[in-house]
Chain A
């Protein structure tokens, strides 16, 4: 009877338009105040202690990294690379849009940010190439949901925090499903393109692919830092997120220069002369090749220092090889090439050194920090209150009651997963993903364990459900965002997105009943999960 109040409170408050965080928190607080003898002091302290969770600490850093990466230029570079690689397939621009969303998802954990960053450029491009607006909007609205499935993902961090599975495993588990979801969307587009006879882009040649890649690579390296850093044990997921945030900040301010005091200042100026680009590239490639080689060599041979004599050989070889073979420079011009390349580097390092501190206190930087802090507060306030609510649920043994009931009612893993899917698809219509996950996870997690469902698999399944919740009415975040930026009505966007939502539903069934998709990679790289409760 008393527990019924808990649910009556929470749903009553939610539908009356009380903020989600307050609905959850106040229900728990009222329940304790009315029915228990617990001291309110210990409840209040939980608000403080919820943020002491080391896993959740990664969230503000991921949000910050993602904000720095969402500045216009990164999306533009990723789209250029995507069009260069897959644009020449039939329906290529739409396929490139999906590919760009996948790549962007690997830099940012946020779906709406993906839709805005990629969508504003890609939808306009598709329209110019003769695609209908509906088709373009439908593609991007769906592909944007990959943001929470492809690591790093904030929703996965929340699941890991709620169930004590490792964040690293969750991230790894998201890789294969993320690729498959992207591929399924691409195949669907290709089939539609064949039927509708949609255009293909001309083949741009390997030079354009390489050029686009080398521009985008600086941003995409963020993925390497996060995933590589976690799996090689260099740092914890939380530290990886902090390093990623600092890296993203430096890249946005000093390399891409889309914001801050250096915006508009190019790396190479016209007056540097014709050899400048070759010289600059020779030095850059040589250093990057040397660092990459040394890093891999140090890993493989497990030698003491990172650098060896081989590092120097790679450096010199690239320094001489690139201008001669690729740059079309004669041997006699080599010294001049290095001189002008060195001059370009020197000038740029000079500007960066001079503007380093001003850039960190620039108003653009402050805006990114403030925006990220706002997002963190909004999300974390829901999370701490959801934890408070979940704590009350657990204290009242509610998950245990439901587990017993489900096992007794004869649920097996197959029907259980179906039930979880339906529950989440409905819940996802009304609740913010992280909050929903924190409430549902403590309830379904023990049942899943009882029925032999892998916890990582369960987590991926929940994330995919949240994804679909984002593109189904009435409350689909990506639908709102797409409708907002395109000026189409919500109904139009829902219709436009519908064919691809079917693809994602198919994908959900696949992920639900083929656990290996989620568990293969983490098991292979990190061994089986050991659950301690």
Chain B
């Protein structure tokens, strides 16, 4: 693997591990603050929720990369090899479609010339709309020193947490497209994992075999 590849690998792993650790510590510290010091921080719950969303939405593309997303392979395994590859390619292509439609669906209705024009907007339109509106999060506030240094408003603007939505979808589309190419040139079999414990089993493969 190239140096850039290794760097991106460890970057992605570090980000998801860091988000999970931070979520745990924020929630844990709330319990400690409540019983130990009879206090608490109003924004903690909202921060944890935002982190949770970031973990999932950032991580979904990583899941495609490492092939962690579950799928049913019982049927396609019965297919002859060329058809299996076709199904695998379709799986990757549909994942791209999923990401693109959620990012922006306006083109879809137009392309199919639907009578009702289909639905419009998407993740990008949503964030773009809120970027222009001065609406803040409910409880999530900037720390005082950031308010003073940068002269920002008290509340974290609403578009900021949500910005992971379009970013995550773009990353998902990119990883799925990458997987599509890899399947096409024969470097990858499929984008799905047959069951959730594949890694666990691989680590303990045949430990009890005679």
Interface residues, chain A, with chain B CB atoms under 8 Å away: 13-23, 25-26, 29-30, 32-45, 47-48, 51-52, 54, 56-57, 60-61, 64, 112-113, 116, 119-120, 123-124, 127, 133, 234-235, 238-239, 242-243, 245-246, 366, 369-382, 384, 430-432, 474-475, 477, 480-481, 484-487
Decide if B104 is an interface residue (CB 8 Å cutoff).
yes
Contacts of B195 in A (CB 8 A): 112, 475, 477, 480
Min CB distance, B28 to chain A, in Å?
Answer: 5
Contact A17 B165 (CB under 8 A): no
Q: Which residues in chain B, 55-114, are within 8 Å of chain A measured between CB atoms?
A: 55-57, 59-60, 62-63, 66, 68-76, 87-88, 90-91, 94-95, 97-98, 101-106, 108-109, 112, 114
Measured CA separation A375–B59 after assembly (Å): 10
Contacts of A485 in B (CB 8 A): 201, 204-208
A-B contact pairs, 16 of them (CB 8 A): A17-B87, A17-B91, A20-B70, A37-B117, A40-B121, A44-B123, A47-B57, A48-B53, A51-B52, A120-B204, A242-B23, A378-B68, A480-B197, A484-B201, A484-B202, A486-B208
Given A14-B72, A26-B98, CB of A243 within 8 Å of CB of B204: no
Contact B62 A487 (CB under 8 A): no
Contact B200 A481 (CB under 8 A): yes
Decide if B38 is an interface residue (CB 8 Å cutoff).
no
Given A52-B49, A238-B27, CB of A16 within 8 Å of CB of B87: yes
Decide if B190 is an interface residue (CB 8 Å cutoff).
yes
Contact B118 A239 (CB under 8 A): no
Contact B70 A19 (CB under 8 A): yes
Contacts of A52 in B (CB 8 A): 49, 52-53
Measured CA separation A529–B209 after assembly (Å): 49
Given A33-B109, A51-B53, A373-B55, CB of A239 within 8 Å of CB of B23: no
Contact A373 B16 (CB under 8 A): yes
Measured CA separation A16–B71 after assembly (Å): 9
Decide if B160 is an interface residue (CB 8 Å cutoff).
no
- Which residue of the partner chain, among B13, B57, B102, B205, contacts A43 with CB atoms under 8 Å? B102
Min CB distance, A17 to chain B, in Å?
Answer: 4
Q: Is the interface of A mostly helix, strand, loop or mixed?
A: helix
Q: Mark B2-16, 1 if CB is under 8 A from A, else 0.
A: 000000000001101
Decide if B126 is an interface residue (CB 8 Å cutoff).
yes
- Which residue of the partner chain, among B94, B123, B193, B194, contacts A26 with CB atoms under 8 Å? B94
Contacts of B190 in A (CB 8 A): 17
Measured CA separation A162–B186 after assembly (Å): 40
Min CB distance, B67 to chain A, in Å?
Answer: 10
Q: Which residues in chain B, 1-45, are within 8 Å of chain A measured between CB atoms?
A: 13-14, 16-17, 19-21, 23-25, 27-28, 30-31, 35, 45
Interface residues, chain B, with chain A CB atoms under 8 Å away: 13-14, 16-17, 19-21, 23-25, 27-28, 30-31, 35, 45, 48-49, 52-53, 55-57, 59-60, 62-63, 66, 68-76, 87-88, 90-91, 94-95, 97-98, 101-106, 108-109, 112, 114, 116-123, 125-126, 129, 161-162, 164-165, 169, 190-197, 199-202, 204-210
Contacts of B27 in A (CB 8 A): 57, 61, 238-239, 242
Contact A378 B57 (CB under 8 A): no
Contacts of B164 in A (CB 8 A): 48
Contact B57 A16 (CB under 8 A): no
Measured CA separation A238–B161 after assembly (Å): 22
Contact A373 B17 (CB under 8 A): yes
Contact A29 B72 (CB under 8 A): no
- Which residue of the partner chain, among A38, A116, A246, contacts B200 with CB atoms under 8 Å? A116
Min CB distance, A55 to chain B, in Å?
Answer: 12
Measured CA separation A21–B171 after assembly (Å): 16
Measured CA separation A37–B115 after assembly (Å): 11
Contact A40 B122 (CB under 8 A): yes
Min CB distance, A307 to chain B, in Å?
Answer: 15
- Which residue of the partner chain, among A29, A61, A238, A382, contacts B101 with CB atoms under 8 Å? A29
- Which residue of the partner chain, among A13, A382, A484, contacts B70 with CB atoms under 8 Å? A382
Contacts of A486 in B (CB 8 A): 206, 208-209
